[in-house]
Structure 1
């Protein structure tokens, strides 16, 4: 058990009046592993990361990160982790270098260490030529790379990435995948990321945890999860995922012919034995 970088037992987070964003969730991530939390909006992915990274409290359970209890040793946890949130944490009115210097000062790093680390990370993320430009001039992909670079300034051993490629086009998404994969393979970083993208979880992670309604439904390798589902896939696309769409999802899951399901953005993938025979039944459910 000593090789566990993150251990979560019975994590529960309740928002008033009685919204269980995370419900008795258990999760274990080995050191040097990439795990993807895959699920729809509101599944509890971001809340899980916020709790594990000391950014929010929780009502029940125990979370141990890098060998430290999040409740009793939050400072030690923060020294051991880097966090990249869904919404960028960088200042658009500073240069890339100034953002990284600020982040280094927050970790009380020496000036010489900050400067050498900036050169190292700017080169790694191919930001050398733009590091002294205002972030407001950066593209979306460049901002995301700077976000990750800032999170790595103090050399953490664990990296949390909340929807790291959200809003990026496929070209920039794949560039970022390359960097994330290299961080894990070359530096042994343990990475816990959340995503809506099936392809992202498949390409990057050693383990995928499918999460819905605040609970982990299944954890396995991408290949094992794909091999466990045989038959056909029916994809239902929504303009938006609101209460009616969630109601359809929950009702569809109760049907005996539905063998499994996953979300990808506003698309619901339903796995069945015979797609041709089941489409009409699903359409009838949708009409209701």
Structure 2
């Protein structure tokens, strides 16, 4: 078997094993907290109607939440994992074996994707009792949503790897990713129609993937009449695909170079210094 393919196969196994391990970790507490927070928002929005759409605000919010969760996972998940693996020596060990970096990167992609599917399930299943947009979408709508979410993951995941590569610590990785994405989410029309915002903020939001993943998810799950609440009053699918594809292509071109440079600089001395710094932070 080709050595690179063998490394990728090991990465698939690694990603699956790490995902199963994560199911028993404290990370699931965050998923539970997020689900409760999202369901609380939907509960208070369920009787609020959005003018011109004939639908409740909760029905418009749920697809946006799904899109936001994918963008959030694609950016924050790899950043946190990669920075922690630099600190605990996992990355150094991967660098030391043939095609170890290939296996490592494939494992990160697999684990992030499975974690995202699981976290979405935790949110979506209870939400079905509050809104019926997913049940009403049918197989075609669900397949369209899956395509949009896959493109959204591709648009954010490499940038999460970039953030994890340049961060000096897991805390730094969270600061690089969490704060910006929270600000971007606030202006991306996730919890209320983006058209309620000033025009210049609408323009800023449309530069980033979060708005477009939510836009595409709403298109896949909601009736065409809901487009009245979108910028321009219509679904802009070609522009959505262009923006997300641009972020994905640039990210996948840039991320491997940054990861290789970061891996070449890794050494046992650097790892030990980061380990001691981590112990001091915990003491």
TM bracket (short chain): under 0.3
TM score, norm. by length of structure 1: 0.23
Higher helix share: 2
When you count strand as a share of all residues, which structure comes out higher? Answer: 1
- Return the TM-score normalized by structure 2: 0.23
